[in-house]
């Protein structure tokens, strides 16, 4: 197959490239700048079997007004350009996989894939606009999936890159009151879920990329301390996190209880259902 990836240099994109090329697929990277036209993009994705959109600057940062504009443009504007390019293509992709996030959901409910209990904040609005642009690809006969990623855990980067060092030094602890639910996924399960969706034509629309077992930050902290054999009493109070990240602190302080209902209903089996199993694989 010919597979185009926008955002190929990131954690997920680079792992996908290695996976696809190991299976003898052709992988091309799509770079979109402000001055890149939809026609230029269309020439690159013409005759691609699958288009994967992972574009976007990191969400875990201080959200100044200028950074929020970058968060928005790197996701929503880029996705709009990709779908405009799909419209132009004579031979369109058969499948469009576009990233989104569990940040679309509110903190008051638990959420399956079809939940419409969305938060009333910037991150949710960003995700909704992002998905709205991606979903326009349906108008052109392209099967479209919005991949709502939970917190991604991997050896090579992602959230664990920031979480593990303080715990290994014995200064790790819960974030805020620790009662917020964390919906997460091991990178290997994320990659396998993408392959599963590629082979399962009945799956479309929003799909939660999360383990079936979300857990509280306090429980996560307890497991980290136990497996690493380190104390976990030095938590970080909410006000300190807000001082560092501002509005962006919602990414780590807001509760998101999310379940992968579509994946499970279609028979997907997670290798790392429980956080303990994922952590052991990462730190071994």
CB 32 within 8 A of CB 73: no
Model-wide pTM > 0.85: yes
> What is the C-alpha separation between 169 and 176, in angstroms, rounded?
20
And the tokens for 106? 């509110």
Span 11-38, pLDDT tens digits = 999 999 999 999 999 999 999 988 999 9
> What is the C-alpha separation between 47 and 90, in angstroms, rounded?
8
> What is the C-alpha separation between 113 and 258, in angstroms, rounded?
8
Total residues belonging to the chain: 284
Query: Is residue 234 very low, low, confident or very high in pLDDT (cuts 50, 70, 90)?
Result: confident
Could you tell me the CA-to-CA distances from 127 to 4, 59, 115 in Å, in that order?
A: 22, 12, 14
180 φ, ψ (degrees, to nearest 5): -70, 135
Residue 235 has pLDDT above 90, yes or no: no
**Average pLDDT in the chain:** 95
- Continuous H helices in the chain: 11-22, 38-45, 65-72, 78-88, 122-135, 160-168, 187-198, 217-228, 238-245, 250-253, 261-265, 275-283
Q: Is 165 exposed, middle or buried (0-12, 13-18, 19+ CB in 10 A)?
A: exposed
The helix/strand/coil state of 258 is strand
Residue 53: beta bridge partners? 6, 98
> What is the C-alpha separation between 281 and 85, in angstroms, rounded?
40
Residue 235: CB atoms within 10 Å: 17
Span 163-176, pLDDT tens digits = 888 888 888 889 99
Span 207-231, pLDDT tens digits = 999 999 999 999 999 999 999 998 8
Query: Is residue 6 very low, low, confident or very high in pLDDT (cuts 50, 70, 90)?
Result: very high
Q: Worst-scoring range by mean pLDDT, 8-22, 176-190, 240-254?
A: 240-254
Please, which residues have CB within 8 angstroms of residue 131's CB and are 6 or more apart in sequence? 98, 100, 104, 146, 206
Predicted local distance difference test score (pLDDT) of residue 100: 98
* Half-sphere exposure in the Cβ direction for 115 (13 Å, CA): 24
And the tokens for 74? 């790197």
Residue 125 has pLDDT above 90, yes or no: yes
> What is the C-alpha separation between 162 and 244, in angstroms, rounded?
14
Q: Regarding beta strands 257-258 and 2-6, do their DSSP bridges make them parallel or antiparallel, or are they unpaired?
A: unpaired
Angle at 145 between CA 211 and CA 4, to 5 degrees: 105
């Amino acid at each position: 197959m010919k597979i185009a990836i926008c955002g190929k240099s990131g954690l997920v994109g680079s792992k996908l490239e290695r996976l696809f090329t190991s299976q003898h697929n052709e992988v091309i990277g799509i770079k979109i700048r402000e001055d890149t036209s939809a026609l230029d993009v269309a020439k690159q994705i013409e005759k691609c079997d699958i288009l994967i959109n992972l574009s976007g600057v990191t969400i875990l940062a201080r959200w100044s007004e200028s950074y929020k504009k970058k968060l928005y443009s790197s996701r929503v504007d880029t996705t709009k350009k990709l779908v405009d390019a799909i419209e132009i293509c004579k031979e369109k992709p058969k499948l469009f996989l576009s990233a989104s996030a569990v940040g679309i959901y509110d903190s008051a409910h638990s959420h399956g894939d079809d939940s419409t209990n969305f938060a009333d904040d910037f991150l949710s609005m960003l995700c909704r606009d992002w998905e709205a642009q991606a979903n326009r690809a349906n108008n052109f006969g392209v099967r479209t999936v919005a991949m709502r990623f939970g917190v991604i855990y991997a050896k090579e980067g992602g959230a664990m890159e920031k979480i593990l060092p303080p715990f290994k030094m014995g200064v790790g602890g819960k974030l805020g009151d620790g009662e917020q639910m964390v919906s997460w996924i091991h990178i290997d399960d994320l990659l396998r879920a993408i392959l599963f969706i590629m082979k399962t034509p009945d799956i479309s629309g929003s799909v939660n990329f999360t383990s079936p077992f979300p857990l509280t930050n306090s429980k996560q902290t307890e497991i980290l301390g136990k497996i690493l054999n380190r104390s976990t009493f030095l938590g970080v109070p909410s006000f300190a996190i807000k001082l560092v990240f501002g509005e962006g602190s919602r990414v780590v302080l807001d509760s998101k209880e999310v379940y992968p209902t579509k994946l499970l209903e279609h028979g997907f089996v997670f290798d790392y259902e429980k956080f303990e199993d994922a952590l052991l694989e990462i730190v071994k």
